[in-house]
Amino acid sequence: MSGPGESEVRRVGGYVLERRLGAGAMGVVYLGRSATGRQVAVKVVRPEYAEDPLFLARFRREVAAARKVSGAFTVPVVDADPEGSPPWLATQYVPGQTLAERVRDGGPLPVPEAARVAGQLAEALRDIHRQGIVHRDLKPANVLLARDGARVIDFGISWSATATRALTHTGVMVGTPAYMAPEQLEGPRRVGPATDVFALGSVVAFAVTGHSPFEDPESAGLEPFATAYAIVHREPLLDAVPGGLRELVARCLVKDPDGRPSVPEVLELAADADSRAGARPRQPGPQDPSVSPVPQDPSVPSVPSVSPVLPAPPATPKHRPTRRRALLAVGLAAGATTAVAAGAWALLGTRDGDDGGGDATDDRSDVAPSGSSAPRTLTPVWERDPDVGGELSCNAAGPAAGPLFCAGMDDGMILTLDPASGDVLWDHSAVGADGSLQWSGAEGHGDVALLAAGGVIRAFAMADGAELAQAPEPEYGWLLTPSVLVVERGAGLVFQDPATLGDVGSLSVPAGYLVRGVYDLTAGVLVERIRSEGHSAVSYLLVDARGEPRWPAWSAEPPDGGEQLDLYVGEDDGVAHFLAGPAPEDPSAPVEFATAVHRLALDQPTWTRVALPGSGPHYTEHGQVTFSGGVGYAYDGAGTFTAFDAADGTVGWRAELDMSGYLSGLTVAGEVLLFTDPDGRLTALDLGNGSLRWTAEPSVRVPGSPWGGWSAPVVLDDRVFAVTSSGLVYAVDLPD
């Protein structure tokens, strides 16, 4: 950590600052870690500004604005102290480059990607403007690109749309000239939401050309006053903007704010540009997979595709579909872990809200192999749009017959659905009395549902939605299991009764270690710790619902295959499974692709390593792995599904479908493997040979996010509940 006045900064609040991520003129961003291992991005105000009353007023406003805004493409605030010495702000940590860095290092974005980014930025502005906030500094350096979409950051000069004065010095221009709107340059009186729309147009133009549409490409960034003059008096230079995006950019860059499109209109323009540019090739309906024999390989015995050498799948699923459920990822996120990295003071989040191309007509061709009949297309028993404003996550809760618990973080709703009819049984909102969204997280399991919002965590009865208890929201992460609420507190974990929110037990973490994750297993709660120094030496302890150890000591460390454990992917037959892959240079970074499964037997405990089939499939990026009945089922993100023996990696079958990119999580039910694609189509593959058994989809397809994050199919009794990426739920009866 270097820079003027920075050498003494090693800790702020309760966070150790591990390394510098980036810096701006007035602040430095560090990777921070809490006492229990939670990673955050911490913006620390430079000493020379810490005594400036005007700057501190702006920083307080930045903190207030960042706390208010939540949504698909903004970053949640974790903690802050604008009155501290020095003042600081901490948000979720996620790896990614800024748009400015991406274009600098790799050149302009392809048109399809730029079209998606345009839609994502429009969604972000929608969420920002809903809180009565105008960002005022949307520019490439304040747009972060994660693997799952763009994020808008830095509310340092944002202001209320109803503000009567601006926190600036007389004569000081606030903003970045190349991406400012004419009204910003002429005076603040007409600054409003349309100002951010103008900036969006300039940012999209930059994404595909490498410079502002008001700059000379040869002197981009070198003549700010000439650029400012051009913004006010000249038309933008759009010849280099590809035709698919030119209409969107041109309409956003109209001089008169009243002539620009609204944010909902920008979303429509982005979707149209996405479709016309082929931004996201439509996922054709699943073709019947080509079930091919495994290629001859001395290390992998050849197995006929129609006669897999795998244990017979169970008649019914033995375990509820599992997902990574760690304290570091609070809320009802269905699948991928998320984090933020930074340029300038980049603080990131997740999820794409691009509503994509694709129309309501179905051009798929469900063709079965020669000599077999076409797969069945099932009709939903019911369909329901809970109208939560976007991404919806659902899971089975309560007794075996239901209900279905769902949460939509975009609108801050939790609700339950009747499995028989799809009717909403009860719901609660995280929207405050002032209309602001205050959502922090939600979980629902067993007899209780929890909603954290506005600094309070509330417990509700799953049966009827009656409020049971309230308590201050946990400062750090928390995890709800069917029997206990686990909360990070101090240097360990506290176990609470979910219905009363009262403490029932605790677990201390030995000195020199941090908690990295906590997982809900059939046998108890599995706690994952890691050494404070170097973030290595991962080990585990199984405890009961009061934090009492069920093992005599922390388990032996996983086998050393030169790999780093990355993702818990569920348990099966008393074994917990973790994906592992080549360790990145930065031990705090996620593994880019998985090469093996590390298996922890819960009764011993002992570890074994099983190589994943294939050559470096990106299971941690687009793919998924699940286990049932001693068999692993893996999707590689490129259309290939593989079944393999969980104990030794022997491949049983491989199946190819005409698809790529993200799917929902994988669910085993009876004799089929279930998943949904970004268009909401539910597909069932035969567990025995990988052939396509049947498909289903709602009557009206609403394109949603192609980036993953929606729920895996949920099974209750003999009915499957599919959750689409656009927030629709529908039910299908499992065929005999």
User: What residues are annotated to the active site?
Assistant: 137
Burial of 721 (0-12, 13-18, 19+ CB in 10 A): buried
Q: Position of tokens 């209900």?
A: 403
Closest to 662 measured CA to CA, from 692, 698, 621, 695: 621
User: Which residues lie closer than 8 Å to 726 by C-beta, 6 or more apart?
Assistant: 355, 390, 680, 702, 703, 704, 705
Encoding tokens for residue 450? 């929890």
Closest to 659 measured CA to CA, from 639, 642, 677: 639
- What is the C-alpha separation between 41 and 20, in angstroms, rounded? 10
- What is the C-alpha separation between 158 and 150, in angstroms, rounded? 19
Encoding tokens for residue 380? 């939903």
DSSP 337-356: ---B--STT-----------
Closest to 703 measured CA to CA, from 304, 186, 357, 343: 357
CB 469 within 8 A of CB 462: no
Q: Position of tokens 């930025």?
A: 121
CB 191 within 8 A of CB 180: no
What's the residue count for the chain? 736
CB 556 within 8 A of CB 600: no
- What is the C-alpha separation between 256 and 515, in angstroms, rounded? 54
User: Which residues lie closer than 8 Å to 184 by C-beta, 6 or more apart?
Assistant: 136, 175, 191, 195
Name residue 405's beta-bridge partners: 395, 416
Closest to 87 measured CA to CA, from 120, 119, 38, 52: 52
3-state secondary structure of 489: strand
User: Which residues lie closer than 8 Å to 579 by C-beta, 6 or more apart?
Assistant: 565, 566, 567, 569, 591, 594, 596, 597, 598, 612, 619, 620, 625
Bridging pattern class, strands 404-408 and 143-146: unpaired
Closest to 635 measured CA to CA, from 685, 586, 585: 685
Angle at 136 between CA 58 and CA 182, to 5 degrees: 130
Instruction: Give residue 631's identity as a one-letter amino acid code.
Output: V
For 621, left (φ over 0), alpha (ψ -120 to 50), or beta? Answer: alpha
Give me the torsion for CA of 155, 156, 160, 166, rounded to 10°: -160
CB 456 within 8 A of CB 471: yes
Instruction: Give residue 457's identity as a one-letter amino acid code.
Output: I
Helix (H) or strand (E) holding 121: helix 111-130
Please give the span between the terminal C-alpha atoms of the chain, in angstroms, as a whole number.
63
- What is the C-alpha separation between 472 and 451, in angstroms, rounded? 12
Encoding tokens for residue 637? 């993100």
Bridging pattern class, strands 692-696 and 376-378: parallel
CB 553 within 8 A of CB 564: no
Q: Is the dihedral of CA 215, 217, 218, 220 positive or negative?
A: positive
Angle at 42 between CA 37 and CA 44, to 5 degrees: 140
